[in-house]
Amino acid sequence: MMRCFLLFVIVITLASCGEPQQKPKDVIGVWQNVAIWDNNRITLTVRDDSTMLFKAEKSFCPGTKFFVAIGQWHIDHDTLVMKPITDGRKFEIDDLFPELIQMRVDSSNVFALDIEAKLIIADSSLYDLSPEHKPNTEHRYHRISK
């Protein structure tokens, strides 16, 4: 009887290890960098359908260029991870970033990127990773809407 109980506990433990981690709802929303660095205003949109949008608005003299990316996100311990979508789906920039159309941004000033991002979730903020894999306090994002 004891062996059956131990076997049951081991099976349940192993089965629960394989379950995907639930996405906490507290990362869903639109995030923006607190301080502008390297002339970049960065906006991250974390959607509840596991899609994450990245938009960097970079000021040049003259003009502004936009760098955009779309990816799938997941949580790995205390890190929000965005990986490029590789399943062959195609996206239209005007569907994902309608604000660029509203601002009448010339399409020659919009560049699509294929990026992977890792951000640490701490203190109700997101932080870029430092080279030491710690939160980079100079590169912090705060939520501007849910």
pTM above the 0.95 mark? no
Report the domain count for the chain.
Answer: 1
Establish if 105 belongs to a structural domain: yes
On average, the pLDDT of the chain sits at: 84
DSSP H or E stretch at residue 112: strand 110-112
pLDDT tens-digit profile of 80-120? 999 999 888 888 888 999 999 888 888 889 999 999 999 99
Mean pLDDT of 53-79: 93
Establish if 15 belongs to a structural domain: no
Establish if 2 belongs to a structural domain: no
Residue pointed to by tokens 């951000």 = 119
Which residues form the domain of 137?
Answer: 23-145
Instruction: Kindly give the pairing relationship between strand 64-76 and strand 110-112.
Output: parallel
- Output the domain CATH number for residue 77: 2.40.128.640
